[in-house]
Amino acid sequence: QMQKNFRLLGLCLAFLESCDAFLQSAAFQSYTYAGRHRKLFVDYSVRPTPTNGISALISPSKYHPPLCRRSCSTLHMSALGPIGPFSPFKSTYCSSGVVEREMASLTSLAEALSTKFSRMMLGFQSGQPPDPKEVSALAEEMWSINEQWKVTLTRLALAEDFQALELFKLTEARMRAMGMDMNEMQQAMAWQVESMRAYSQ
């Protein structure tokens, strides 16, 4: 169970580190003529790019696959999708900047947390337990990120705006592609926070 929770925590940090890049990705629909067959390939290009810390342990090959591949009879062309959070035609909610600011904040916090957490784990592995005060401070940072993440997801899930709801569903799908769901992610974070709090007492 402990190994599973640590793996989930690594996935959580990798996911949160890439939230900002995920939001700014573009959804392209490429229509390609190939002989007598015309195929539609839709790739939302939301592959995260972990670069440091515990997130580097996650295999890139497990990340998001193409979401849709089906045959289609059409001319050769490239176009942006007309709807969704990546559309150039933004809804009022998505153009307000609220989502971008929240995702950017989560990304920044998660990157810093990943570095600190990796340093702490390295100390454990080398036989140098960390200072309980540092562990306590790190636990509170992790708790804060988890609470902010829950608020962001709840806001998207309860929004009346279609593009916000679509972003929530894309987030769900992307997390499933990484082998977890939102409840598992939040439980893994909460478990780690409580473990670190207990250590620091």
pLDDT digits (tens, 9 = 90+) for 111-151: 888 888 788 878 777 888 888 888 888 889 888 888 888 88
pLDDT digits (tens, 9 = 90+) for 50-60: 333 333 333 33
Q: What are phi and psi of 46, to 5 degrees?
A: -110, 30
Q: Is 31 exposed, middle or buried (0-12, 13-18, 19+ CB in 10 A)?
A: middle
The rounded distance, in Å, linking the Cα atoms of 102 and 12 is: 16
* Sheet of 28-34, strands arranged across: 68-71, 37-43, 28-34, 77-80
The rounded distance, in Å, linking the Cα atoms of 19 and 16 is: 5
What's residue 74's pLDDT?
40
Q: Which token pair is 117?
A: 């957490």
If residue 79 lies in a helix (H) or strand (E), which one and from where to where? Answer: strand 77-80
pLDDT digits (tens, 9 = 90+) for 90-115: 777 777 778 778 888 888 888 888 88
Q: Can you give the residue ranges of every domain in the chain?
A: 2-26+85-200
Q: What are phi and psi of 66, to 5 degrees?
A: -55, 140
C-beta of residue 170 within 8 angstroms of C-beta of residue 85: yes
